[in-house]
Structure formats: structure tokens, C-alpha cells
Amino acid sequence: MKMLQKRLLVACLLVCGLFSFAQAGVQENFNKKASVKVKKVVEKNNLQIVGYNYVLKAIGDGTRKNAKSIILDARPMKKYQMSHIPSSLALPDTKFDNFYPTLKLDKSKEVIVYCGGFKCVKSPKLAVMLMKKGFKDVKVYAAGMPNWKSKNYVEISTNIAKALHKKKSALFIDARPWGKFAGSSIVGSLGVPDTKFKKLSKFMPHDKKAMIITFCGGYACHKSHSVANKLVAMGYKNVKVFAAGFPAWKKAKFPITGGMKKAKKVAKKAKSSNKSIIKAGEDTGTVDGEWFVKNYKKFPKSVTIVDVRGADDFASGHIQGAIHVHAEKMTPEQLLAAIPAKGNVIFVCGTGTRAMEARGFLEEDLKYKQINRIWYLDANIDCQKNNQCSIKPNEPLGI
């Protein structure tokens, strides 16, 4: 026991030492490069400076919901729209009184602010404003956007995505499953599901400086971020994520393939082994969204709701009674073994994308013979930690 305690102590000291060393490097870099004005605000208010690696950990998987900290961009809105750190929100220091009330920020969480680099005083000024509002843990990423862009991908807003699409100056990649892409997508985009990226990576541009924009099912969907990370790892230097994704693009009535008219009911649907229990949706394999919303709280034991998102997503809030199975981390065989062997199974996620994909693993990859008992809900689901959920069914695609 004593030996174990010693090892743990050594490990702790090593980790703490490495952190202190890294932090010392960040502070030294700040001291060398920051302007006098920035240093003055930082020193006067005793603000803590953090570096790239710290922010990288804070953004989690890149989605707003799963970010470990609140990341705020203090620059003007136009700058934010053009490019910003993944998961970050716009809070221009000069428009603080207008923007702050709309964001409804959690004061118990860590906040990291940034702007245009070491000579930009907007982020330390914003930090001070937040502290006056009662925020206790506010840090400044002084290297800011220039430093981030030199190392990683960025997010862009809807209007910027549209402008780049119009100029035909970027390759758009749809990271959703094949079914979603086939039903409707941004005109000219390439379907590259994140789970199939390794197989399809050979089709990526030879030019590592080519602009690539990834997108998926909206702010709650991490697939676009997953593909972006893989592209950066391959050496691509100009990768952007259109985080608002296909829902925002479609809502803005920008050019899309298919889906221009409301989908008609398809003649062939997955049949239920018990029609009195499950009401099929218009798309193959789906449950009727409105029916699900009305009935999911009183499903019999023969119907199991399976949340296929990651552990962090599930812990942050889920449909009451759902079991957790992280489908993306499993082989089709493992997924089948993790769900009930009998009865009806309904896969759910945050946007319908991962749920559709999970069913596809069993139907397409495994050729599961009892696929008619496996369903998915195509809906945007937003659950709080108390498991109170808002469920908004998506429009059928006609597939």
C-alpha cells in the first residue's frame, strides 16, 4: 500500500511539474509578446493567462454542449463569423450590454476569453467585465485567434459558408451517414461519413492548402469536428467547420440536393413485429416522430430506448429510461450484443444522425436478419441534467 501511495505521489508531482513548466512557458511567451496596454490590464486585475493546449482540452469534442469551459470571442461580430475557435460564442467587448443578456452564461463554469492576439486588449477587458458580473473563474487566451488558426481548424458562420460556396472556393464535406447525405445535402458537397473516413481519405485533395469545410447535423453534432480533426492530422492547413450545419443551411433556403418538397410517404417501410406498439415513420427504419413524443414515457418493457451518443453526452441529460450504448466505439457485433435480444429497440441521439447510423451498422454491415425490430428516431433532442427533454422530429427525407 505504501509503495502504491509513493507511486501515486510521484505521478502527481510529475504531472503537476509538467503543468507548471508548460504554464511557465505560456507566461514567458506572454511577457515577451504582449503589448504594454494588454500587460497593464492583466496585471492590474490579476488575470490568469492560458495557452493553446489548455484551450484545446477545454473545447472537448468541439461542440458547444460538450465543451468543458465557456469559450468567448471578444472580437467584433464580423470577425467571429469569419472564423472562431470551435464551440466559442461571440461576446464583443464593445457590444457587451447588448450580447451578454442573450447568452445566459453559467457563472459556475470556467470561462476562457480570447481576441486577436497578444496586442489585442479586448479579451482582458472582457474578462474584467465578466468578473464584475460575478464570474469567479475567468482566464485569458492571450495568443488568441492567430495562434489557434496556425495550429488547428476553425469554425465559420452560416453567411460565410454561403459566400465560400457561391465562390466555389472550398470543398464541402458532409460528415453525416450515407442515408442523410443521399436524402438531401448541400449542393456540390462530398459525402464522407466520419465512421467511413479512413476508407474514403484517399479521395481528399492532394493540395494540403486546399480549403475544406465540414458540416453535419447542427451544433449538437460532433461528426463534422471529428472529420476536421482527422483532416488536420493528415496535414491539411485550411480546414473549417460549418457548425450550424445542414439544418441552418436548409432553413436559410440555400441550394440543396433533393428534399425541396415535403417527402411523400414511402410505400415500403420496416414492418414491426407488433404493429400496436410501434408506429413506423415515413423513412425506412424510423419511428413516427410525433407518435414517439406522445408515447415514449409510457412504453411497455418490450420497447427499449437506446441512446447511442458518447458517455459525456449521455451524462449531460438523456431521455428518462433510456439505456446507454456508445455505438461509434463498437463493432456491429458488439453493438448487437449490447442491446436487448428481444423486443423493439429504438436508437436515439441528439440530431437523429448517430441513431440512423447505429441502425445502419446492423442492417448494412452486419446484415442483421431481425432488423425489423430495430428502429431509430430522427429528431433533434435537447435534454437537461434533470432529464427533461425537448424533442423536435425532423422532416422526413423520403428514403
Vertex 391 angle, CA 386 and 394, to 5°: 155
CB–CB of 85/59 below 8 Å?
A: yes
13: Cβ contacts below 8 Å, ≥ 6 apart: none
258: Cβ contacts below 8 Å, ≥ 6 apart: 182, 183, 184, 185, 397, 398
Q: For 16-25, 28-37, 277-286, which range has the lowest pLDDT when averaged over its residues? A: 16-25
pLDDT per residue over 72-87, tens digit each?
999 999 999 999 999 9
pLDDT per residue over 147-164, tens digit each?
999 999 999 999 999 999
pLDDT at 260: 43
pLDDT at 10: 44
pLDDT at 104: 94
Q: For 9-18, 61-70, 78-87, which range has the lowest pLDDT when averaged over its residues? A: 9-18
Query: How confident is the model over 183-187, as a mean pLDDT?
Result: 95
The pLDDT-based confidence of 22 (bands split at 50, 70, 90) is low
pLDDT at 20: 57
Cell numbers placing 218: 447542427
pLDDT at 276: 57
What is the percentage of the chain residues whose pLDDT exceeds 90? Answer: 81
pLDDT at 64: 94
β-pair partners for 221: none
Sorted by where each starts, the structural domains of the chain and their CATH numbers stand as 30-149 (3.40.250.10), 154-257 (3.40.250.10), 289-393 (3.40.250.10)
Query: How confident is the model over 53-75, as a mean pLDDT?
Result: 96
pLDDT per residue over 372-382, tens digit each?
999 999 999 99
Query: How confident is the model over 226-243, as a mean pLDDT?
Result: 98
Query: How confident is the model over 228-257, as a mean pLDDT?
Result: 97
Residues 150, 155, 156, 162: is their CA dihedral positive or negative?
Answer: positive
d(CA 315, CA 306): 14
What is the percentage of the chain residues whose pLDDT exceeds 70? Answer: 90
Over the Cα atoms of the chain, what is R_g? Answer: 23
d(CA 329, CA 226): 13
d(CA 51, CA 42): 15
In the predicted structure, residue 27 carries a pLDDT above the cut 90: yes
Query: How confident is the model over 235-260, as a mean pLDDT?
Result: 92
Query: How confident is the model over 244-254, as a mean pLDDT?
Result: 96
Query: How confident is the model over 365-370, as a mean pLDDT?
Result: 94
pLDDT at 261: 46
pLDDT at 6: 53
The closest of 154, 128, 155, 151 to 74, measured between CA atoms, is 128
The pLDDT-based confidence of 271 (bands split at 50, 70, 90) is very low
The closest of 29, 138, 31, 120 to 74, measured between CA atoms, is 120
291: Cβ contacts below 8 Å, ≥ 6 apart: 279
pLDDT at 270: 45
pLDDT at 15: 41
d(CA 304, CA 340): 8
pLDDT per residue over 278-324, tens digit each?
999 998 999 999 999 999 999 999 999 999 999 988 998 999 999 99
The pLDDT-based confidence of 397 (bands split at 50, 70, 90) is confident
Cell numbers placing 199: 476508407
178: Cβ contacts below 8 Å, ≥ 6 apart: 191, 193, 360
- The enclosing H or E element of 260 equals none
pLDDT at 268: 45
Query: How confident is the model over 212-216, as a mean pLDDT?
Result: 98
Averaged pLDDT of the chain: 90
pLDDT at 5: 54
The closest of 125, 139, 147 to 58, measured between CA atoms, is 139
CB–CB of 335/361 below 8 Å?
A: yes
The closest of 238, 181, 230 to 62, measured between CA atoms, is 230
